[in-house]
Structure 1
Amino acid sequence: MEKRNNRPDRPLNERRQFFDSENRPVTPRRPAREGESREERAERRDDRPERREEGSRRDDRPRYPHRPAADRSIDMIFGLRPILEALNAGRTLDKIFLLRGTKNSMTQDIQVLAKAANIPMSMVPVEKLDGITKKNHQGAVAYVSPIDYMPLDSILAGLYEEGKTPLLLVLDRITDVRNFGSIARNAECLGVHAIVVPSNGAAQINGDALKTSAGALNLIPVCREANLKDTLTFLRESGVQVVACTEKTDTSLETGSVDLTGPLAILMGSEEDGISPEYLRLADHKLRIPMAGQISSLNVSVASGIMLYEVLRQRLVKS
């Protein structure tokens, strides 16, 4: 075969681009010049244009950005039949994602069982599923919860039967995993009997949440409720006082004007929007944490610790 000679000449000063095992661009080491010391070589390396520009840095974006990231958790089930079998076996699933537009007998069975078990479910495009896992998901992915959710009514009845004064923590739209883990740690240390979260709009309980909680999520029950409005109404009808922590009130925590020694549910809201107005209307009392600095808000995990400490302080003083 005749050799082609019409290819354009390759520039002599062209530099090849190298990539590491994670497909990220790396800069090859420059060979030392004859008689050049280590200090002189380092100075020459730091004098490159990209080094001289203040704030500039090497582009660490992957070479193949269209490829999905590695699986973020091993606690995952993918495929219609495996998810259906997990539901039939009573496994606790954190959330189910199904391919939008899929209609068959198995997806219908999954939807029925998920609704009965109060498991959040979302119909999503294929790009969402491909971003969760690189494996053949067949249009269905589910996260397995590392804990088992407990029924709130059974916990409350058990506390009353044992002669204990219930202390519950209700979280409205706390979506940050590490915040949730820190809140659980505060709750376990300060005597909370159970944490109540909504089915939708709550942080996923995964390995990060367990680690941040220092194992507290293995000790304190978590109740997942479909409707927090109905849950708060149920608590009030069961003799539990609902106290909301919000800056939208004039009653300050340090005044001690609210008795926190009886059956109690502390209601905490998201950092962005606070507590939903419909839930605030159901609260028996509203308390704010006093501030002395220029920043007018606290991290929700810190705020929960302050509120729960005041509850424990009043109870210890009374006892």
Structure 2
Amino acid sequence: MKNIIYGIHSTAEALKQEESIDKLFVQKNLSSQNAKEVVRLAKEKKVQVSYVPIEKLNKLTQENHQGIVAKISPIQLYSIENLVESAFKKTSSPLFLLLDQVSDVRNLGAIIRTAECTGVNGIILSKQGSAALNDQTVKTSTGAIFNVPICKVDHLKDAIFFLSSYDVKTIAATEKSNDLIYDVDLKGAIALIMGSEGKGITPSILKMVNHRAKLPLLGDIESLNVSVACGAILFEAVRQRL
């Protein structure tokens, strides 16, 4: 299988070297001190840890995995500092996309594809609760994932604080608003925030944003798929910016 690291020492070194690890698989009941150190490092780096039977690990690799297998991202992630600074070097009015625990790989891939088509300058994900950046994400994005800078942060709150220092206006897409997205100024430097499939945007994040806005829904269903909603709002941003 592509994009994996296996073995206790290799995985530990990858974690120490800030390799872009999406998820760590650990054999159930693995009790060696070295294995515990790998798990400690992973949790310190906010990497998701999943305890699985050995059969799962054997499916991931036929090599001597020593009870540890890590999936690494197929892309090189940016730091938030580099992502934002490089965006402002290209334009004085960058468009950022923040995803609050969007957990479905297909939704994430579709969002990345639309983001690339609408000129998004950077995508910011939370490390915990977000879908993996894996081969399926690459496929669903039809390769767009290689064209959009992406970073992962420990907390989206920190990203919002950092963006505000650059005078980036934050706009939350939420039904908990009386304002339609069409009435919000989407020109200038902005960051659009989309919430998870089930829970939407975290309440503590909603309290921090500059604006809240929603799409009009005329049918009986109360919400759109997050990738569809994201696409509708991003193209409204494009319309205003043209």
- Structure 2 counterpart of 1:188, which letter? E
1:284 maps onto 2:213 in alignment:
no
1:77 counterpart SS class: strand
Larger % of helix: which?
Answer: 2
272, 285, 289: which one aligns with 2:198: 272
Any idea what the Cα deviations from partners look like across 1:128-166, whole Å, max 9, x if unmatched? Answer: x53343445322110021001101112212333444311
Instruction: Give 1:294 deviation, angstroms.
Output: 1.8
Is contact 2:83–2:150 with CA below 8 Å preserved after alignment? no
CA distance in 1 between partners of 2:207 and 2:75 (Å): 32
Q: 1:226 maps to what in 2?
A: 154
The 3 A distance-change label for structure 1 pair 90 and 170 is: closer
- Counterpart among 212, 225, 241 of residue 299 in structure 1: 225
Query: Unmatched 5+ residue regions in structure 1?
Result: 1-72
Partner in structure 1 of residue 87 of structure 2: 159
- TM value normalised by structure 1: 0.69
Given the alignment of the two structures, is residue 108 of structure 1 paired with residue 34 of structure 2, yes or no? no
- Picking from 228, 238, 248, the partner of 2:176 is 248
Deviation track 1:280-315 (CA, whole Å, cap 9, x = no partner) reads 111110001001122121111010001111111111
Q: 1:149 aligns to what?
A: 77
Aligned length in residues: 238
Structure 1 residue matching 2:164: 3-state secondary structure: helix
Q: Which runs of structure 1 show a deviation greater than 6 angstroms over 4 or more consecutive aligned residues?
A: none
- Distance in 1 (CA, whole Å) between partners of 2:90 and 2:100 is 28
Distance 1:76 1:121, change over 3 A: same
Deviations 1:177-218 (A, max 9, x none): 111000000000001001100111111111111111011001
Quick one: structure 1 residues 151 and 90, their matched pair in 2 at CA, closer, same or farther if it must change by over 3 Å?
closer
Take 1:308 and 1:247, find their aligned partners in 2: how far apart are those partners?
16
Deviations 1:232-262 (A, max 9, x none): 12212321111000111111123x2x21101
5 Å matches for 1:64-75?
73-75=1-3
Greater CA deviation, 103-112 or 231-240? 103-112
Other structure's SS at 1:133 match: helix
1:181 maps onto 2:109 in alignment: yes
The answer on whether the counterparts of 2:173 and 2:212 sit within 8 Å (CA) in structure 1 is: yes
Shift of the alpha carbon at 1:170? Answer: 0.3
Which residue does the alignment assign to 1:120? 47
Identity, % of aligned pairs?
38
Relative distance call for 1:162 and 1:185 in structure 2 (3 A) is closer
The 3 A distance-change label for structure 1 pair 119 and 158 is same
Query: Which residue in the other structure is 1:37 paired with?
Result: none
Contact 1:96 1:119 in 2 (8 A): no
Written as runs of structure 1 = structure 2, the 5 A alignment for 1:63-102 is: 73-87=1-15, 91-99=19-27, 102=31
Partner of 2:234: 308
Q: RMSD across aligned C-alpha pairs, in angstroms?
A: 2.2
**Structure with larger RCO (C-alpha < 8 A, sep 6+):** 2
- Identify the residue that residue 28 of structure 1 maps to in structure 2: none
Tell me, yes or no, if the aligned pair for 2:78 and 2:151 is still in contact at 8 Å.
yes
**Secondary structure at 1:179's aligned position in 2?**
helix
In the alignment, structure 1 residue 130 sits paired with structure 2 residue 58: no
Report the AA paired with residue 146 of structure 2.
Answer: N
SS in 2 for 1:279: helix
Instruction: State the one-letter code of the partner of 2:106.
Output: R
- Aligned residue number for residue 188 of structure 2: 262
Give the TM-score of the pair, scaled to structure 2. 0.89
SS at the partner of 1:154?
Answer: helix
CA contact (8 A) 2:104 2:131 kept: yes
Q: Give 1:78 shift.
A: 2.2
Give the Cα separation in 1 of the matches to 2:38 and 2:114.
39
CA–CA distance in structure 1, aligned partners of residues 175 and 16 of structure 2: 45
Q: CA deviation at 1:107?
A: 4.3
Q: Structure 1 residue 216 and structure 2 residue 153: aligned?
A: no
